[in-house]
Structure 1
Amino acid sequence: MENHPPRELPALQRSPIRSLSPNEEEDDSPIEQVRLTVPITDDPTLSCLTFRTWVLGLMSCCILAFVNQFFGYRQNSLYVSSLSAQIVVLPLGNLMAAALPTKVVRFPGSGWSFSLNPGPFNLKEHVLITIFANAGSNSVYALGIVTILKAFYHRPISPVAALMLSQTTQMLGFGWAGMFRKFLVDSPYMWWPSNLVQVSLFRALHEKEKRPKGGVTRLQFFLLVLTSSFAYYIIPNYFFPSLTALSFVCWIWKRSVTAQQIGSGLRGLGIGSFALDWSTVAAFLGSPLGTPGFAIVNIMAGFFIVLYIAIPLTYWLNAFEAKRFPLFSSHVFDITGAPYNVSRILNETNFEFDQHGYDSYSKIHLSVTFAYTYGLSFATLTATVSHVALFYGRSIWQQTKEAFTHKFEDVHTRIMKKNYDVVPQWWFYLLLAVNIALAMVACEGFGGQLQLPYWGVLLSIGLALFFMLPVGIIAATTNMSAGLNVITELIIGYMYPGRPLANITFKTYGTMSLSQALMFLGDFKLGHYMKIPPKSMFMVQLVGTIVSTSVYFGTGWWLLTTVDGICNPAKLPEGSPWTCPGDDVFYNASIIWGVVGPLRMFGKLGVYYKMNYFFLFGLLSPVPFWYLSRKFPDKKWLRLVNMPVLLNGASGMPLVKAVNYICWGAVGIYFNIYVYNRHKGWWARHNYIMSASLDAGVAFMAILTYFALQTRDINGVSWWGMPLDDHCPLAKCPTSPGIVVNGCPVF
């Protein structure tokens, strides 16, 4: 919920494990989906780390890193996944194979040489380039710390310290991945379901395709949609930004606060609101075309229950004095309804909590939507544990015993062991040791700008190590992983209160070292399925992570130092997209957990202590559906009710607006339920490619518009549709009597 890169939501279905005959055990995988998708052949003579791999891989890595960080500060922070690069590099690779000379380049005195063109562009080169792109598409969470320091707290930070923070948070995961790779990669029961989508796409792209009569090839379809998306996006991006949210209810009842709270797609319930902008659909939640239909239904069910039942009841019953504050906001407020003045409770000298200032000012208050966001995060954490234990506990335990005893190795593991050398374990340990040392230098050095002592670094990565195996098992078998951001905030908030930068730095090291480890392991499993030499995989992951982090950091630092008023809508020109919605949530979280602390927010001294009941609610919520699914096994839909997904679906608010959910759900249900069931052939051929081309078209036009026009202060025609807004100004107003807010009526 705090500036996390959007990802595909999990397809949680029971692993179809059955007993295999001895002959089947010798020939294939115990997982049916793997048997149906992954080939059991390998050609070890294919070249991997070629000149083409390095050129296209580094280019993809850098472009995706730049684009995603560039969009990360915008109102609709579109996420461009590696899928776009996966498709685009195929014709480029074939072009290089056709055009480059076969000349061998030799390095004098070293005996080392390489060929510019070792032959036809092959599948293994394509996989490694995609791994490069994966590194570029995985955002640098630590840049949130740099952003809120420079743009919100207006405090200096050494660029060296900021770069070391960014690199170490991204690199620590290598150590944990190395420790657990034998268990979470080599084991056939750890099958990483999301990788099967990429395996299918690789096979489709590399199979020879003949253009169907009256139709187009996949590549031609990609280019057609890309061109259309690129051409259209000039309208919502430059000429008519208000297309990002069209809220007709507000325009009918222009003077009613309640009507605008109900109708606003950006600051309210979004009833009747929609958009004609792909970036609204795909921003924050990712492309709905890549999310399974049943997961979309779970997410939208959670969204409707929370936004249209729980939040209105809480607000209009005035629980937590909710009417004093906006219905839908990610900001923090004082008791008068005014924005919380953090400077009154923060000592400017040592940048720590000022108890006297707090006692003479006000407790911290949230909008009811923001309060529910934290409650749902609590519930999701415990629901994940409960759901996995109930629905998957027995099979995971059986799989765990099998993996530890090495009782079974599938054909893919045997091929990899036979044909390729493994990565030495000491490579991982060396990286881990170096990065731990650099992390402590970044936190303790440079005048202690990050506030976190060395023991905080060790404790945070220790938490990641503790959760690595259980969370890794869940991710590898169900495609779902629990984040550590809430639990890390709680722990450091109680142990080391009143220090906002220490809190978010601790959270970042704990959360990202685990998250990165899971990403590395997932990529290793993709290489395992595609029969990529492990040392080549390691090299690409290592170089890709270092390069992408550097590009993310450089792009972020450049925008923070060149865009006037970035992240401050009051100082930005009309229509400017540089509102930093994700970093705004990250900043307010630093106040909640770091400055004020969990004891004064969700503990006995806080306004929102009742939100702790969400821990219990989440723990118990999967039980009824587990019980009913066992009692009525013929009712298969009961097993598709997934409470962690349902609860987590709505927890993206208020960063994710109502109009984002509505448009995302409508597009997802149409394509991944209606089209999938009625026109499965078209869906299988075009769905994922359409998703990639729409994303890429929007990204290319946004970048072109920015550099060609907006950097020259040419911001379009001034008219009603120019603001990046849904024209519902009263939706932000409180409705409690006597609360005075600029631009709002006083009740």
Structure 2
Amino acid sequence: MAATLPTRSIQVPFTTWSFSLNPGPFSLKEHVLITIFASSGSSGVYAINIITIVKAFYHRSIHPVAAYLLALSTQMLGYGWAGIFRKFLVDSPYMWWPENLVQVSLFRAFHEKEKRPKGGSTRLQYFFLVFVASFAYYIVPGYFFQTLSTISFVCLIWKDSITAQQIGSGMKGLGIGSFALDWNTVAGFLGSPLAVPGFAIMNSLAGFVLFIYVVIPLSYWTNLYDAKKFPLISSHTFDSTGETYNVTRILNPKSFDIDMDSYNNYSKIYLSITFAFGYGLSFATLTATISHVALFHGKMIFQMWKKTASAVKAQLGDVHTRIMKKNYEQVPEWWFVSILILMVMMALVACEGFGKQLQLPWWGVLLSLAIASVFTLPIGVIQATTNMSSGLNVITELVIGYMYPGKPLANVAFKTYGHISMVQALAFLGDFKLGHYMKIAPKSMFVVQLVGTVIASSVHFATAWWLLTSIENICDEALLPKGSPWTCPGDDVFYNASIIWGVVGPKRMFTKDGIYPGMNWFFLFGLLAPVPVWLLSRRFPNQKWIKLINIPIITAGASSIPPARSVNYIMWGIVGIFFNFYVYRKFKAWWARHTYILSAALDAGVAFMGLILYFALQSNGIFGPEWWGLDADHCPLARCPTDSGVYAQGCPALELPS
């Protein structure tokens, strides 16, 4: 446009205003603003999970206006917390947000004039080379040869052994001997490992190894909590016979809450051992985050709070903060407050109006937002320093599950308002830090984030509504055609969580009334575990490696399983260790010049080919050629129970002992 449109100034009649059709040269700051605009909605809209489970899993209706208000308000509430905590999580030089370095590196590659080294390439040329290669290659694991997304050697050798496939499966088992030749497997669930600091990768892998290769095998093969009645790894819920839990047997169809007589005559709710301990890890991560931040960062946070209150916070600022404060007008506090008040009102209308379809009363909305405001700062500190974070989804489920049991939609609505408003706040703050590094006017950042969030929420909602009303048997894996991508693994976890925390409730799950009261010990474990690390760091201040032990990251190490799989962690760890340890030490100059660009190019190539595959093939019901390579993993028995007398479809029947 800058090269072709006329530069002549056009006067607006009867005013002093004028404009030009020519936008001028495309600048670095414009590029950053466009990126922030796009990233405001790139992570999806969490509230769509609620709409999905209502329509695709519970097969009920929800008013589209209520659904849209829910989607928009949950995405926008984070602006309020962002305004409150930006002084601590953006202006502070200690909060460096490592993920932003990928984008900073990419922007410089695009815009800085660089002379191509002899025999090499510029960073921009390197980006396009990797992008084209990633784009072209992904059609193989994404369509023609989907087995490459998870290759499990053990299952190919022992085709008739349930135990061997449980050990070897990268999707439904421990993943020993499993690997992938697919970048989407590496980064799909856990994000690109190239953007994660090496110490954070090691902490996360330590948690994964302890959980998947120590805790889970010991618990499963000692039959803790009747674990052998159920699959080793599953996000589904089960009854006492090992069958999938039939939630319709305990739900009142009119009031859509639990019928206690039916529940007492049916069964308590059971989980796979991995799913159960995953909740335990979530409990530990929550308290460990509070304890870790208080011990390791509490003094700094307190000092910043005092300096902020006394209006001398500039002493804590780095060169970026000083330049920003000197050259740009800050976003007024009332902008954030106004949006916060408006979104709270919208949330109350969505939950209390439209026949109270979402079941959540007004006090539940306000309580969920209070929880989000309390946890935004400590979890923000973890994310801004390690690129790893934990959510509030479990603690919010726990709170409302005790206070308002038997209401599945009230539970997930409370969880969404409490959890996602904090997540959105941290996403906004991360973007503010990117603008901070790139010297973008804060008001400009605010506007593009605001507009981007509104547009993205609307598009996500419209797309989801279209898919849910047009794709037959969406999210029902048993009825979908082979190779279909519409299996909804994340929504399946969300649905089963609504049964666990909403319909049945934590009192009938995690107390003596249920099966898993032992999981509550993880709260205490998480609270105390950072203490010895902190004491050792004080006792041996010269041993810097001690401070790199991060208990919240360790406890959260494998908490994404399910829906993430062991092969995702294995490949994420292998690639992360190779680049952030081996390449970093042996080829430091190459690492500094190319690693973040490599990460961005690989992500972009997979994303663009994924779009083309959907619009050209998958949207027309074409999911891949019918042959052996269409299936990933090839471990069908890994999902089978191993308790005698329990039968699952597609699994061999194990005889009862004589």
- In the superposition, the TM-score normalised over structure 2's length comes to 0.94
Q: 1:171 matched to which residue of 2?
A: 76
Mapped partners of 1:129, 1:260: distance in 2: 47
The structure 2 residue matched to 1:126, chosen from 28, 31, 35, is 31
The structure 2 residue matched to 1:658, chosen from 566, 570, 584, is 566
Q: 2:125 matched to which residue of 1?
A: 220
Distance 1:112 1:370, change over 3 A: farther
Distance 1:110 1:322, change over 3 A: farther
Uncovered stretches (5+) of structure 1, i.e. residues with no partner: 1-95
- The one-letter code sitting in structure 2 at the alignment partner of 1:711 is S
Q: 2:50 matched to which residue of 1?
A: 145
1:740 maps onto 2:647 in alignment: yes
Mapped partners of 2:320, 2:201: distance in 1: 32
Secondary structure at the aligned position of 2:46 is classed as coil
Cα distance, 1:671 vs. partner? 1.2
Q: 2:637 matched to which residue of 1?
A: 730
Q: 1:637 matched to which residue of 2?
A: 545
The structure 2 residue matched to 1:233, chosen from 117, 120, 138, is 138
Deviations 1:385-413 (A, max 9, x none): 12222222223323332232232414544
Secondary structure at the aligned position of 1:120 is classed as coil
Mapped partners of 1:370, 1:338: distance in 2: 16
Distance 1:478 1:554, change over 3 A: same
Q: 2:247 matched to which residue of 1?
A: 342
Secondary structure at the aligned position of 1:229 is classed as helix
Q: 1:85 matched to which residue of 2?
A: none
Further displaced range: 581-590 or 699-708: 699-708
Mapped partners of 1:190, 1:685: distance in 2: 23
Mapped partners of 1:338, 1:113: distance in 2: 71
Deviations 1:600-624 (A, max 9, x none): 1112211010011111111122222
Further displaced range: 124-133 or 602-611: 124-133
Distance 1:112 1:372, change over 3 A: farther
Cα distance, 1:189 vs. partner? 5.4
Further displaced range: 415-424 or 557-566: 415-424
The structure 1 residue matched to 2:517, chosen from 596, 609, 629, is 609
Distance 1:178 1:641, change over 3 A: closer
1:157 maps onto 2:62 in alignment: yes
- The one-letter code sitting in structure 2 at the alignment partner of 1:281 is V
Mapped partners of 1:282, 1:523: distance in 2: 21
Q: Trace 1:304-703 onto structure 2 (pairs within 5 A).
A: 304-409=209-314, 410=317, 411-472=319-380, 475-476=383-384, 481-703=389-611
Distance 1:696 1:357, change over 3 A: same
Secondary structure at the aligned position of 2:19 is classed as strand
Deviations 1:113-142 (A, max 9, x none): 433334322222122112112213232111
Distance 1:117 1:450, change over 3 A: same
Mapped partners of 1:193, 1:713: distance in 2: 40
Kindly indicate whether the alpha-carbon contact (under 8 Å) linking 1:247 and 1:274 is maintained by their aligned counterparts in 2.
yes
Secondary structure at the aligned position of 2:293 is classed as helix
- The one-letter code sitting in structure 2 at the alignment partner of 1:524 is F
Secondary structure at the aligned position of 1:346 is classed as coil
Kindly indicate whether the alpha-carbon contact (under 8 Å) linking 1:189 and 1:403 is maintained by their aligned counterparts in 2.
no
Deviations 1:94-130 (A, max 9, x none): xx43344324455555654433334322222122112
Kindly indicate whether the alpha-carbon contact (under 8 Å) linking 2:102 and 2:600 is maintained by their aligned counterparts in 1.
no
Mapped partners of 2:333, 2:535: distance in 1: 44
Kindly indicate whether the alpha-carbon contact (under 8 Å) linking 1:247 and 1:728 is maintained by their aligned counterparts in 2.
yes
Q: 1:78 matched to which residue of 2?
A: none
Secondary structure at the aligned position of 1:137 is classed as coil
Deviations 1:356-376 (A, max 9, x none): 111000000000000111010
Distance 1:582 1:695, change over 3 A: same
1:252 maps onto 2:157 in alignment: yes
Cα distance, 1:469 vs. partner? 4.3
Cα distance, 1:746 vs. partner? 2.4
Kindly indicate whether the alpha-carbon contact (under 8 Å) linking 1:185 and 1:521 is maintained by their aligned counterparts in 2.
yes
- The one-letter code sitting in structure 2 at the alignment partner of 1:553 is F
Further displaced range: 189-198 or 368-377: 189-198
1:262 maps onto 2:167 in alignment: yes
Deviations 1:438-497 (A, max 9, x none): 111111111111111122112211222333444445555665554221221111111110
Distance 1:281 1:293, change over 3 A: same
- The one-letter code sitting in structure 2 at the alignment partner of 1:207 is E
Cα distance, 1:528 vs. partner? 3.1
Mapped partners of 1:200, 1:250: distance in 2: 42
- The one-letter code sitting in structure 2 at the alignment partner of 1:719 is W
Kindly indicate whether the alpha-carbon contact (under 8 Å) linking 1:189 and 1:399 is maintained by their aligned counterparts in 2.
no
Kindly indicate whether the alpha-carbon contact (under 8 Å) linking 1:183 and 1:404 is maintained by their aligned counterparts in 2.
no
Kindly indicate whether the alpha-carbon contact (under 8 Å) linking 2:196 and 2:387 is maintained by their aligned counterparts in 1.
no
Cα distance, 1:542 vs. partner? 0.8
Mapped partners of 1:470, 1:404: distance in 2: 19
Further displaced range: 563-572 or 177-186: 177-186
Further displaced range: 530-539 or 668-677: 530-539
Q: 1:97 matched to which residue of 2?
A: 2
Distance 1:117 1:477, change over 3 A: same
Kindly indicate whether the alpha-carbon contact (under 8 Å) linking 2:47 and 2:71 is maintained by their aligned counterparts in 1.
yes
Cα distance, 1:521 vs. partner? 2.5
Further displaced range: 335-344 or 295-304: 295-304
Cα distance, 1:715 vs. partner? 3.5
Distance 1:250 1:468, change over 3 A: closer
Distance 1:111 1:148, change over 3 A: farther
- The one-letter code sitting in structure 2 at the alignment partner of 1:356 is D
Mapped partners of 1:717, 1:184: distance in 2: 49
Distance 1:419 1:182, change over 3 A: same
Further displaced range: 185-194 or 704-713: 185-194
Mapped partners of 1:357, 1:645: distance in 2: 41
Give the superposed CA RMSD. 2.0
1:293 maps onto 2:201 in alignment: no
Distance 1:622 1:418, change over 3 A: closer
Uncovered stretches (5+) of structure 2, i.e. residues with no partner: none
Cα distance, 1:722 vs. partner? 1.6
Mapped partners of 1:189, 1:688: distance in 2: 21
Kindly indicate whether the alpha-carbon contact (under 8 Å) linking 2:86 and 2:429 is maintained by their aligned counterparts in 1.
yes
Further displaced range: 627-636 or 364-373: 627-636
Deviations 1:155-211 (A, max 9, x none): 111221111110000111222322343454445555545445544544454322011
Mapped partners of 2:532, 2:91: distance in 1: 35
- The one-letter code sitting in structure 2 at the alignment partner of 1:686 is H
Cα distance, 1:287 vs. partner? 1.1
Mapped partners of 2:473, 2:10: distance in 1: 50
- The one-letter code sitting in structure 2 at the alignment partner of 1:270 is G
Secondary structure at the aligned position of 1:651 is classed as coil
Q: 1:27 matched to which residue of 2?
A: none
- The one-letter code sitting in structure 1 at the alignment partner of 2:21 is L
The structure 1 residue matched to 2:182, chosen from 269, 274, 277, is 277
